[in-house]
Structure 1
Amino acid sequence: MYRRFLKRPMDFILSLMAIIVLSPVLIIVGVLVRFKLGSPVLFKQKRPGLNEKIFTMYKFRTMTDEKDENGELLPDSVRLTKFGRMLRSTSLDELPELLNILKGDMSIVGPRPLLIRYLPYYHEHERLRSDVRPGITGLAQVNGRNSLTWDDRFATDNEYVKNVTLLSDIKIIVKTVLVVFQKKDILVGDEHVLLDLDVERSGDMPNGKT
């Protein structure tokens, strides 16, 4: 009942309240991003959502647009500034995703939306994660976050999808607040050593092709 009839209305109401309450923070962070990192303030990227339907996800940008002499963007590790690291470590860069929740693209709690290019590399049972809306936070984020392996992330996402309840969502939200304040299991920049899913599993595809 909660999953079918209550989760979406609660997401809408809570995200709207959060936007109103956090509006001063959103404005301040937006101004700082514009001043320190330039324009545009928001980073937009296509991600797969419910039933793998593609949507545009919003985040505060955390990197500059610095380029080399050939006009190519410098590596992420160079463009990720100290300010950008702070935004990621405190999860402030995720706040614009509240707009995605209002639109119905995302939920407060659910599997994190991954990159579109990862879709061909999912194992069949891992597609279960797309049976629910992706979330700003999720079970994987409060049980290891960036330190989990890909297999563990997918297994944790499946565990959540199979047991969506109001109580579990409340527990995840509370744990998320604790994880963010404790800065636990948060890896950014050069610290994030987990291979991209397509790189890690490229050998699993026939002839190495996607």
Structure 2
Amino acid sequence: MRMESQLATFATHRAGSMRVKRLFDLLVAGSLSIVTLPLIAATATAVHVAVGRPLIFRQERAGQFMRTFHIGKFRTMTDARDAAGQLLPDDLRQTRLTKFLRRIRVDELPQLFAILRGEMSFVGPRPLPLATLRAFGESGRIRCSVPPGMTGWAQVNGNTRLTDEQKMALDIWYVDNHSLAMDMWIVLLTIRTIILGERLNTANIENALLHLRQRSGLRQPSGAEG
């Protein structure tokens, strides 16, 4: 009986936390979608000049509870191909301008509207393809118990410098520990990362890996995308 009461209290607390998180998302995304309209227009113009049309690149991603939706980003790569007709490596299909747009993350501004639609959150694990999440088994399911975000705990602790296991560990640590205060802290760290660049936070990574290993039944298959 006591255990049931504790579970009910936890469920009520988590539901309340998610309502506050949604309100935070609406306030921040709503404000930014208005304030950044000139930046969105400037980015669209830059993309048109650098890589042409279409301006928006869309891909299917898994959202909360693995429900799929289409995520939009400004295009930052051309369709340049080699003599055999194969697409060139990503780095060779980016211009100096689009590399800069990616570094300061303005290519992700269209995702503000996904937040307003309720498909994403401002802070949360980055949305991945459904097949990738299924390859992670129970870890992927747990990762999808919260809405995906524009930025997340993994993105401010190393992002592209992390291994797949490290990213998953950081994401699951976030799922188990997220709060409004933490979301606001991640937003501040994201701004710092944009300005100063990515850096590995070894202490946070090791803590997340330990947390992941203490969870029962979670397996990390090799080769899954992060």
Q: Distance in 2 between matches of 1:155 and 1:93?
A: 26
Counterpart of 1:152 in structure 2 is: 166
Counterpart of 1:16 in structure 2 is: 30
Q: Secondary structure at the match of 2:144?
A: helix
Q: Distance in 2 between matches of 1:73 and 1:128?
A: 35
Task: Work out the percentage of aligned pairs sharing the same amino acid.
Answer: 38
2:124 equivalent among 98, 103, 110 = 110
Question: 1:82, CA displacement in angstroms?
Answer: 1.5
**CA contact 1:118–1:198 (8 Å) conserved in 2:** no
Q: Secondary structure at the match of 2:17?
A: helix
After superposition, the C-alpha distances for 1:1-38 in whole angstroms (9 at most, x for unaligned) are 44232111221221010011111100001011011110
TM-score, normalised with respect to structure 1: 0.84
Aligned residues: 192
After superposition, the C-alpha distances for 1:111-137 in whole angstroms (9 at most, x for unaligned) are 011123313321323421100000001
Question: 1:69, CA displacement in angstroms?
Answer: 4.5
> Unaligned regions of 5+ residues in structure 1, if any?
187-196, 203-210
- Given the alignment of the two structures, is residue 46 of structure 1 paired with residue 69 of structure 2, yes or no? no
Q: Distance in 1 between matches of 2:36 and 2:27?
A: 14
- Given the alignment of the two structures, is residue 74 of structure 1 paired with residue 97 of structure 2, yes or no? no
Counterpart of 1:56 in structure 2 is: 70
Please, which moves more after superposition, 4-13 or 96-105?
4-13
Question: 1:201, CA displacement in angstroms?
Answer: 5.1
Q: Secondary structure at the match of 1:131?
A: coil
Q: Secondary structure at the match of 1:57?
A: strand
TM-score, normalised with respect to structure 2: 0.78
Q: Secondary structure at the match of 2:172?
A: helix
Question: 1:92, CA displacement in angstroms?
Answer: 1.3
**Which residue type is aligned with residue 63 of structure 1?**
M
RMSD of equivalent CA atoms: 2.1
**CA contact 2:50–2:98 (8 Å) conserved in 1:** no
Question: 1:99, CA displacement in angstroms?
Answer: 1.1
